[in-house]
Structure 1
Amino acid sequence: MSESSGISHRRGRPLRRALIAVLSTLGLAAAVATAATLPANASAPPPPSGWTQVFLDDFNGAAGSGVNTATWQYDIGTSYPGGPPNWGTGEVETMTSSTSNVSLDGNGNLRITPRRDAAGNWTSGRIETHRTDFQPPSGGKLRVESRIQMPNVTGAAAKGYWPAFWMLGAPYRGNYQNWPSVGELDIMENVQGLNTAWAAMHCGTNPGGPCNETSGIGGSTPCTGTTCQAGFHTYSMEWDRSTSVEEIRFYVDGANFHTVRANQVDATTWANATNHGFFIILNVAMGGGFPAAFGGGPDSGTQPGHPMVVDYVQVLQSSGGGTTPPPSGNRDAYSAIQAESYDAQSGLSTETTSDTGGGQNIGWLANGDWALYRGVNFGSTAATQFRARVASGAASGVSGLVEVRLDSRTSAPIGSFALGNTGGWQSWRTVPANISSVTGTHDVYLTFTSGQPADFVNVNWFDFAH
């Protein structure tokens, strides 16, 4: 959320939703899912086996008191000293340490509340940890999580609201000019009272660069059960150095909806963004680049006084090494695999589909884009065919390949088909392709290759056949 718009998009189209995927660490998933259903004044759940708690604030204290200043520091005004104005994002509020903006509620929660005075000026709150050393040990993992209810306001009354739970690389503190190379991890962002949580990693150079700035490498998901605004949900990030390729995974209520891997960018960019500690930030901004992408605000219809309510912030660490567990076989190769149920991706967005069955499709796919589907079980009888439900509104002369790869997105394709215009971006057809014989359980990558940079395909679902 620092000097970016905070929105994850591609070619001007916002990334809207990612379907929930399975958490890799089942014990941790259970703990987080339990945390999401706890009462509003619950304590943080105990660390699962193999994890150690290295930071906790349960926000216990007298109603109306401020945060513990031994743990947190207030960000005051409209910028860091000497840093970019309006916190680098164009937001319009002035941050204060006043308990009218930042206070405990006496029931184990922190409230960060935007206010507007009679002259129309906005104030709000932004706090960050004194500690700047949060990072996983070599070969281990770090998990940063918070149980949060977003400001309970929607529609026109929510215009301009921008709550966030995020982290900045330690080298930013005191410099304030080296973003995004020093890294930013947005664990939860939300705007305009939408029932959507966004997550992103920022890195590299701005604008553009290997991390698609100012957008970053991002994904999003809806809150399920209760909306993000109507109830508490647990938002978390797991930074994993135990895998063969380092990963940063983002979760809502224990469900992994977005993953960034080290091999998505060059080694120097990744090292500059991750080879140091991070500090944690909680804030509610008003206005700025991210709300502007969804209609702007705040305006005269925006209602002040709706707080982001934070139950706890917890950091866990695991020193356990080991490699990524083998695929669990949780997907059936011979049933339709919904394209939006990816476990990781690069370059795609999702949208509502008009195809039979409804739901969403992945789209705006172009050369170099890809999506990963873990644990696809082909069984003992070899699959020899791949089918995908696709559509294209590509311009005349624009086409490309839809490819299937196993276990690595750089392995040779086991099959592919070419696609050009089908009559429109929602004009769907099922296209088959022969593939090399496959048995057992594999991670499946859909990759997209074209001789032109333009988008050439949308995908709704795919499956395999004998």
Structure 2
Amino acid sequence: MSASSGLPRPRPLRRALVAVAAALGLAAAVATAATAPASASAPSPPSGWTQVFVDDFNGAAGSGVNTADWQYDTGTSYPGGAANWGTGEVETMTSSTSNVALDGNGNLLITPRRDASGHWTSGRIETNRTDFQPPAGGKLRVQARIRMPDVTGAAAKGYWPAFWMLGAPFRGDYWNWPGIGELDIMENVQGLNTDWATMHCGTNPGGPCNETSGIGNSTACTGTTCQAGFHTYAMEWDRSTSPEEIRFYLDGVNFHTVRANQVDATTWANATNHGYFIILNVAMGGGFPDAFGGGPDGGTEPGHPMTVDYVQVLQSSGGGTTPPPTGNRDAYGAIQAESYDSQSGVVPETTTDTGGGQDIGSLANGDWALYKGVAFGSTAARQFYARVASGAANGVSGLVEVRLDSRSNAPVGSFAVGNTGGWQSWRTIPANIGAVTGTHDVYLTFTSGQPADFVNVNWFDFGH
């Protein structure tokens, strides 16, 4: 969310669909959140990490945010800053609980509204703290579980929800963007099933960071759309790597990384040698929506909130490993094969299948991958589907098996696969399984009469 650029943002690069997948070693993967409660507590910090900020938005329905943690941005600009928040958006931000309020169920609602004269109001809050940055040699992780405004199509024209951060030197200056840095963890426009992540830095227009577009990428929500369910959006700023890098995640998959060596040393230092503060808002109109058809207009529906379950900031001094996946996977949404919790013999690799991302390959007899906490619900699953490819030699084939809770348990279902025309020639293959209900750890196991690799897997899911 460009905070102070007075220019419309050109349309960022956008892939039509990018598979949401949690690759090996990725941070705090939270499975597709449609199966999780509407309000879930922020996860406990994993070993090696410390929680330095959290808000679960617990409180009475209709109450405002905790002003010990948050401050309201009101009006149409920062004091003395660029008009219309520097982006051309049309709403007036307020501190009214009609725009910013808790729902009484552990969620924050930021709701854009339109009055009888057609004037829009909405909400924008930012943390009082401006010191969020990783320690020397360590990591910082900023994440939130969010459901975007549940509105699509013509009714969503002009909607621009965002979860983002600005460099601390911006506060009180308001004219030093983009040099002081901006990290857009989640932006969305027009009710599209797309999450954009961007780093802004350098000079505007143009410069080393391609302003006003910034250095960005996008991906799609799977399982449920970004509007239909909760998903977890995260940024991990890593000073333990060389070069230093900033990674962006959706439901645990790292779909965008910006590295210090992508820009000159001065640009990077100006954007990162200080703390940041966090912002949550829903804008209406502006440069980003303009790039996708504009709005709001008379057909835009007011009253659809961005719903935020929690915001959490974790810090590692350098010894902590990336938080592992936490389970709570939806059996009926695509489970990305590379989002395993544990494995043997598995190699993640880039896939050319529709949506991009990664698959797991080099799969041969005896290999396996574990996916914890797969929720099947109370209606029995009886089908298994897997997206597979094989370039195995003639006569080489094997079984893709599903086992529950232990690798030593008998498979509940399997299918055989041989050469599909190439290691990136993908097919979706169905199989019957025994009735499964409840929540289980799922093992994919691979059995073959030959020692050679016989299959790659991109994703799998289950059906009734």
Is TM (by shorter chain) over 0.5? Answer: yes
SS of the equivalent of 1:151 reads coil
Say if 2:19 and 2:222, in contact at 8 Å, map to a contact too: no
**1:108 aligned residue (98, 106, 109):** 106
SS of the equivalent of 1:237 reads strand
Give the TM-score normalised by structure 2: 0.68
**1:65 aligned residue (46, 50, 63):** 63
Measured in 2, the distance between the counterparts of 1:293 and 1:17 equals 18
Letter in 2 for 1:25: G
Partner of 2:256: 258
Say if 2:144 and 2:309, in contact at 8 Å, map to a contact too: yes
Name the CA shift for 1:106/1:231 in 2 (closer, same or farther; >3 Å).
same
SS of the equivalent of 1:73 reads strand
Letter in 2 for 1:141: K
- Pairing 1:208–2:206 present: yes
Measured in 1, the distance between the counterparts of 2:137 and 2:257 equals 18
Partner of 2:165: 167
**Unmatched 5+ stretches in structure 2:** 323-344, 359-386, 388-422, 426-464
Say if 2:4 and 2:174, in contact at 8 Å, map to a contact too: no
SS of the equivalent of 1:263 reads helix
SS of the equivalent of 2:31 reads helix
**1:48 deviation in Å?**
1.3
Letter in 1 for 2:301: Q
**1:23 deviation in Å?**
3.8
Number of residue pairs matched? 339
**1:320 deviation in Å?**
1.7
- Pairing 1:128–2:126 present: yes
Give the TM-score normalised by structure 1: 0.68
Name the CA shift for 1:226/1:75 in 2 (closer, same or farther; >3 Å).
same
**1:278 deviation in Å?**
0.1
Say if 1:8 and 1:15, in contact at 8 Å, map to a contact too: no
Name the CA shift for 1:216/1:3 in 2 (closer, same or farther; >3 Å).
same
Cα deviation digits, residues 17-64 of structure 1 (max 9, x gap)? 5444544535x434x338674201111111111111000000000000
Cα deviation digits, residues 330-364 of structure 1 (max 9, x gap)? 2469xx64596368xxxxxxxxxxxxx9xxxxxxx
**Aligned pairs (5 A) from 1:322-333:** 330-331=347-348
Measured in 1, the distance between the counterparts of 2:24 and 2:424 equals 27
Give the % identical residues.
78
Partner of 2:28: 29
- Pairing 1:308–2:306 present: yes
Measured in 1, the distance between the counterparts of 2:17 and 2:264 equals 27
Partner of 1:151: 149
Name the CA shift for 1:105/1:342 in 2 (closer, same or farther; >3 Å).
closer
Name the CA shift for 1:88/1:74 in 2 (closer, same or farther; >3 Å).
same
Say if 1:7 and 1:198, in contact at 8 Å, map to a contact too: no
Say if 1:3 and 1:214, in contact at 8 Å, map to a contact too: no
SS of the equivalent of 1:29 reads coil
- Pairing 1:186–2:201 present: no
SS of the equivalent of 2:270 reads helix
Say if 1:181 and 1:204, in contact at 8 Å, map to a contact too: yes
Higher-RCO chain (CA-CA 8 Å, sequence separation at least 6): 2
Say if 1:133 and 1:276, in contact at 8 Å, map to a contact too: yes
Partner of 1:3: 4
Letter in 2 for 1:173: R
**Aligned pairs (5 A) from 1:354-433:** none
Say if 2:159 and 2:283, in contact at 8 Å, map to a contact too: yes
Name the CA shift for 1:314/1:37 in 2 (closer, same or farther; >3 Å).
farther
Say if 2:14 and 2:217, in contact at 8 Å, map to a contact too: no
